[in-house]
Chains A and B, each alone.
Chain A
Amino acid sequence: MNQSSDPGYFDKESTKKLLWRLLWGVCIFFLILELFIERHGHFGDHSLDSYFGFFGLLGFFSCLVCILIAKGLGLFLKVKEDYYDRDII
């Protein structure tokens, strides 16, 4: 029950470090792999999505924007759990 004396496999610092390396490794691997494949733009040969790394960047930035929007909206939208239970009249 005590987490400090009995850290699970995924709670160990070494595992976390390994997973971080794995994540970066996989990202770079798929980026490099793109060099060896032939692909075309979905909207003509010179459309934006035909450039190298488009989907990686798309994934990265769209998620970043989503997080930032969510964070920003959270300032206005997040309320306490009992928000609707409170009477306002």
Chain B
Amino acid sequence: MIEILFKSNPAFLFFAGAIILPFLKGHLRNIVAIIIPAISFFIIHNLVPGTLETLPFLHYDLSILRVDKLSKAFGYIFTLSSFAAMVYGYYQKKSLEFVSTLVYVGSALGVVFSGDLFSLYMFWELMAVFSTFLILANKTSKSMAAAKRYILVHIAGGLILLAGIILHINGTGSIEFTHFATQNLSTWFILIGFLVNAAAIPFSSWLPDAYPEATILGGVVLSAYTSKTAVYTLARGFAGWDILIMIGCGMAIYGIIYALLENDMRRILAYSIVNQVGFMVCAVGIGTPLAISGAVAHAFCHIIYKALLWMSAGSVLYRVGKSKCTEIGGLYRTMPLTLLFGLIGALAISSVPLTSGFTSKTIIILAAEYQHLVIPWLILEIASAGVFLHAGIKFPYFVFFNVDRGLRPKEAPPCMLIAMGFLAFLCIFLGCFPETLYNILPDAELVKSKMAYTFSDIYIHHFPKVVTQMQMLMFSGLVFFLFLPMLKRTDTISIDFDWGYRKGTTYFYKLMDVVLNSLNKVADSVVIRKFVPAFYNLIIAIPVFVLLLLARVTWVIRQASPDTIQKERLLIHSQLKAATFPIGMSAILTLILFAVLFIL
């Protein structure tokens, strides 16, 4: 059994590592943490597309390992980036973050390589649980609260996904995870479940809420897997669903606007994840083979440069202990290498020529062009200009330049510099020689037939593209510096969709409190205090009236004195109120009632 597991999904190697790691100490532990992703990278490299390993479970065959070019591409980048993250985290003295990272990355690989919805769901939930530890490990009251909200959102998303999966299996009888062709309740639930993890609007706010509260290593690790796993599942299940184009464009713009408003450097980067994932979601919505390959290529490059940006922000946080733009600045003097690597990440995310963003984002924009999607094309171009604004310039400017606040921290530790250097190298390498990347894409041949892929082809034969791109970016940069006074940071946060569950629910509670309790009060005064006594009096009054009517007849016959009448009248009243009749009287009344009923 165990042998089958190890032979199959690369996730289990990570899980095994997570079990061993707490028993190791010092350098050995950190080296094992680095070696596991490295070995997995080669294991994934040796997986043959088309492989399918199944495991019988209940009445179904779980496809515990399914390999194709799509899953392999994500497998490569997940192991590559976790390798860099583990090198970066070498400074760690405890194993908690390593263990959570291993299980988290392992489950992300599990999602990517599992071919059925059951296993996918199991890995999906494991991912949510173990990523929470990376936020909790920060051990501040803010991070505790953020982690609580994070896990609640993911449990909600997971349950919607589960409901969709159950409905889907019930409807089709198949647990296989392939493209969903029909739109019905089950596929919509699954889509929403995936979109929650992709941080698609309006489910986006958990990401900028939680990631900036994570630990230094946690932020680096978290930036890569949850949203990109969701991009993978969307690419496999929902390619060509038109609504994703709209959602993607919305995310791209939303990310820019919010990143511009933000003060915390890691929150700026969090919003720019939403912006970048927007490009990928849009590409998935376009759905042509070229667009899907573009989404994968962009996810690949994005994970590298975004991890690099988070690493440089993490190094600053590690050395300075602060992350607000209003508290840092002028760090270029003592952290030049961190600045250099951060800058390479910033240029790559802005898709400056010679960096990886330029060779990956272009595929998505080209795919939009081929489908004659003019408005999405324009929005993507606007969004790429905006990326330069918030991530390309704003992040390095406010962190490393701006005002000198007298901070003179030491340069980042060697482990961090090595990891950043490695990723910075990849950013430039993929920008100059993207053929390596294009070869692992789902439709490698198609991409290579549409895109320039050699250095000379990109930068000499297609020079006009370089000129227009540089023109757009430089003018964006000009705007940034011309309007810098408008971008001055304030010590604030911005209201986002999470207002709904952080404040909105409290207001809802208060509203319900006012509405329901005042309803209660009205009901109390009208029904309990007025209507019920009145009804009670009525119930008493009717029999008294009837009895007095009967009694009056007897008084006339008996020619009773006024004293007797008065006495008997009071007796009737008191007996009826207390409901104490002599048995004979009750019997007679019952008989009369039956007689009346019989006649009626």
Check A18 for interface membership: any CB of B closer than 8 A.
Answer: no
Chain B contacts of A53 at CB under 8 A?
471
- Assess the A79–B493 pair: CB atoms within 8 A: yes
CA distance A38 to B467 in the complex (A): 11
Check B526 for interface membership: any CB of A closer than 8 A.
Answer: no
Q: Name B's interface SS.
A: helix
Q: Name A's interface SS.
A: helix
CA distance A56 to B332 in the complex (A): 29
Check B483 for interface membership: any CB of A closer than 8 A.
Answer: yes
Total residues of chain B contacting the partner, CB 8 A: 56
CA distance A2 to B332 in the complex (A): 16
A-binding segment of B150-158, B210-218, B410-418, B502-510: B502-510
Chain B contacts of A20 at CB under 8 A?
481
CA distance A43 to B378 in the complex (A): 11
Chain A contacts of B479 at CB under 8 A?
59-60, 63-64, 67
Which residues in chain A, 50-89, are within 8 Å of chain B measured between CB atoms?
A: 53-60, 62-64, 66-67, 69-71, 73-74, 76-81, 83-84, 88-89
Q: Nearest B residue to A24 by beta-carbon distance?
A: B478
> With A55-B468, A78-B261 known to touch, is A27 a contact of B330 (CB < 8 Å)?
no
Q: How many residue pairs bridge A and B at CB < 8 Å?
A: 151
Residue with the greatest number of chain A CB neighbours at <10 A, chosen from B330, B469, B478, B502? B478
- Assess the A38–B478 pair: CB atoms within 8 A: no
Check B369 for interface membership: any CB of A closer than 8 A.
Answer: yes
Partner of A39, one of B464, B474, B486: B464
CA distance A88 to B511 in the complex (A): 12
Interface residues as binary, B466-494 with A (CB distance below 8 Å gives 1, 0 otherwise): 01111111111111110100110011111
> With A8-B332, A69-B257 known to touch, is A81 a contact of B475 (CB < 8 Å)?
no
Chain B nearest CB, measured from A75 CB (Å)? 11
CA distance A26 to B472 in the complex (A): 11
Check B389 for interface membership: any CB of A closer than 8 A.
Answer: yes
Partner of A66, one of B257, B469, B507, B509: B257
Which residues in chain B, 361-402, are within 8 Å of chain A measured between CB atoms?
A: 369, 372, 374, 377, 381-382, 385-386, 388-389, 401
Q: Nearest B residue to A20 by beta-carbon distance?
A: B481
Check B68 for interface membership: any CB of A closer than 8 A.
Answer: no
Chain B nearest CB, measured from A19 CB (Å)? 9
CA distance A70 to B257 in the complex (A): 5
Partner of B474, one of A1, A26, A83: A26
> With A59-B476, A63-B386, A66-B389 known to touch, is A74 a contact of B494 (CB < 8 Å)?
yes
- Assess the B474–A42 pair: CB atoms within 8 A: no
- Assess the A30–B261 pair: CB atoms within 8 A: no
Chain B nearest CB, measured from A61 CB (Å)? 8
Chain A nearest CB, measured from B508 CB (Å)? 11
- Assess the B467–A77 pair: CB atoms within 8 A: no
Chain A nearest CB, measured from B512 CB (Å)? 12
- Assess the A73–B385 pair: CB atoms within 8 A: no
> With A3-B406, A11-B404 known to touch, is A89 a contact of B468 (CB < 8 Å)?
no
Partner of A89, one of B260, B473, B491, B510: B510
CA distance A12 to B369 in the complex (A): 45
Given contacts A10-B401, A30-B471, A60-B479, 11 further A-B contacts (CB under 8 A): A1-B406, A8-B330, A8-B333, A43-B374, A53-B471, A56-B474, A63-B385, A63-B389, A63-B480, A73-B257, A80-B492
Those 3 A-B pairs whose CB atoms lie nearest each other, nearest first: A59-B472, A59-B475, A70-B260
B-side interface residues toward A, CB under 8 Å?
253, 256-258, 260-261, 330, 332-333, 369, 372, 374, 377, 381-382, 385-386, 388-389, 401, 404, 406, 408, 463-464, 467-481, 483, 486-487, 490-496, 502-503, 506-507, 509-510
A-side interface residues toward B, CB under 8 Å?
1-3, 7-8, 10-11, 20, 23-24, 26-27, 30-31, 33-34, 37-39, 42-43, 53-60, 62-64, 66-67, 69-71, 73-74, 76-81, 83-84, 88-89
13 contacts between A and B (CB under 8 A): A27-B478, A37-B464, A42-B369, A43-B374, A53-B471, A58-B381, A62-B386, A63-B388, A64-B483, A66-B253, A66-B257, A77-B496, A83-B495
